[in-house]
């Protein structure tokens, strides 16, 4: 089943994602309440700390902000930027929805792809966008991810990918479902050539993305507290009519059950990724 989340209303946090940290001093600095520790955090402090609260709670992050955070300065060269889906099945309301989301998010689609350097290491990078229909995968996302793995294969580069997704995009029906097979096949070709694929699972990674390229990395990292699963927790609760265990589908739960290699806090990700890329480099 696909579990699609919707675009959350714009808030100051997102607004800040597109430009430098907006600090307004006149009426007191804008604050954001941490859903974990309930404390109000000044936005400027949150920005300075890569959207991580002092209690360790990781807020969602826009794709381009993540690109800036993780890559070496001015090393990112975007690929396949113009790829976008129209309304291939003529699904009612889809075109308007996408247009609204495009305007609000400033993105054409739910993933940003390119070549970059991380700590001096060359790689191909994809970062999914939580503020574009919650990173749902339709034909364009599938096409961009597939093209990126093909590009990485041709260039013999590793792939680093940050996943966030509500699953397959139901407005593109079967075409979305097939992107799971398409992206997986591209991951396999890349993998069979002996190339590294590092996936970082961020909150939330669910449905058809979990059941395809998110789980297919050679190394799987997860951000602390990220929800990662196939079926949605609420759906499971409704289906089984039982209370879910504490911490169900959280990154730590996945670690405990053997489905991720490590939990990676945002502050250490850049260094860790660079080190892992370096460790897997062949022929020096």
Partner 1 sequence: MGKMPYDRVKLVRQSGRPTGLDYITNLFRGFIEFHGDRRFGDDPAIVGGVAWLGESPVTVIAIEKGHTAKERTCRGFGAPNPEGYRKALRLMKQAEKFGRPVICFVDTSGACCGVGAEERGQGQAIAENLLELSTLCVPVISILVGEGGSGGALALAVADRVWMLQNAVYSVISPEGCASILWKDSSKAAEAAASLRLTAEDAKSLGIVERILSEKELGKKEFYHRIRALLEEELESLAQDSDLVSKRYERFRRIGSSAVCGAKESL
Judged by CB under 8 A, the chain residues 181 through 210 that form the site for partner 1 are 181-182, 184-189, 191-192, 207-208, 210
Pairing relationship of beta strands 121-128 and 262-263 according to DSSP bridges: unpaired
Closest to 119 in 3D by CA, of 73, 163, 155: 73
Binding flag, residue 91, partner 1 (CB under 8 A) = yes
Of 50 and 227, nearer to partner 1 (C-beta) is: 227
- Residue from 205, 266, 200, 272 nearest 58 by CA: 266
Question: How many other CB atoms sit within 10 Å of the CB of residue 259?
Answer: 16
Residue for token digits 């059950």? Answer: 257
Does 58 help bind partner 1 (rule: CB under 8 A)?
A: no
Which residues between 70 and 89 bind partner 1 (CB under 8 A)?
Answer: 77, 79-86, 88-89
Q: How far is the CB of 24 from partner 1 (least distance, A)?
A: 36
Token pair, residue 127, equals 């970062």
Query: Of 131-160, which residues contact partner 1 (CB under 8 A)?
Result: 138-140, 142-143, 146-147, 151
How far is it, in rounded angstroms, from Cα 73 to Cα 71?
Answer: 6
Considering CB under 8 A, how many residues would be counted as binding partner 1? Answer: 74
Binding mask 98-127 for partner 1 (x = CB under 8 A): ----------x------x------------
Cα dihedral 266, 247, 199, 231 sign:
negative
Q: How far apart are CA 113 and CA 63, in angstroms?
A: 10
The answer to whether 277 and 269 have CB atoms below 8 angstroms apart is no
**Residue 129 makes contact with partner 1 by CB under 8 A:** no
Our CB check for partner 1 shows the closer of 57 and 259 to be 259
Q: Pairing mode, if any, of strands 111-118 and 121-128?
A: antiparallel
- Verify binding: residue 245, partner 1, rule CB under 8 A: yes
CB of residue 183 to partner 1, shortest distance in Å: 8
Q: Nearest distance from residue 228's CB to partner 1, in Å?
A: 8
Q: Which is nearer to partner 1, 179 or 269 (CB)?
A: 179
């Amino acid at each position: 089943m696909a579990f699609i989340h919707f675009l959350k209303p714009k808030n100051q946090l997102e607004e800040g994602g597109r430009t430098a940290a907006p600090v307004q001093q006149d009426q007191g600095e804008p604050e954001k309440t941490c859903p974990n520790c309930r404390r109000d955090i000044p936005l400027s402090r949150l920005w300075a700390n890569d959207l991580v609260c002092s209690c360790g709670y990781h807020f969602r992050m826009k794709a381009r902000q993540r690109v800036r955070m993780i890559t070496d300065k001015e090393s990112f060269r975007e690929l396949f930027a113009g790829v976008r889906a129209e309304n291939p099945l003529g699904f009612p309301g889809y075109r308007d929805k996408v247009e609204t989301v495009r305007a609000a998010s400033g993105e054409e689609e739910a993933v940003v792809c390119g070549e970059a350097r991380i700590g001096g290491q060359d790689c191909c990078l994809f970062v999914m966008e939580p503020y574009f229909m919650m990173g749902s995968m339709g034909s364009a996302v599938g096409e961009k991810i597939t093209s990126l793995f093909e590009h990485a294969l041709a260039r013999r580069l590793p792939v680093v990918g940050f996943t966030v997704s509500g699953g397959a995009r139901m407005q593109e029906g079967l075409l979305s479902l097939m992107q799971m097979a398409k992206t997986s096949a591209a991951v396999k070709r890349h993998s069979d050539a002996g190339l590294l694929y590092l996936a970082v699972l961020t909150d939330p990674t669910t449905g058809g993305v979990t059941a395809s390229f998110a789980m297919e990395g050679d190394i799987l990292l997860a951000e602390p507290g990220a929800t990662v699963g196939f079926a949605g927790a609420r759906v499971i609760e409704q289906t089984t009519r039982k209370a879910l265990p504490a911490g169900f589908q959280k990154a730590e739960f996945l670690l405990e059950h053997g489905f991720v290699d490590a939990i990676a806090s945002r502050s250490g990700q850049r260094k860790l990724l660079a080190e892992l890329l370096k460790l897997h480099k062949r022929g020096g």
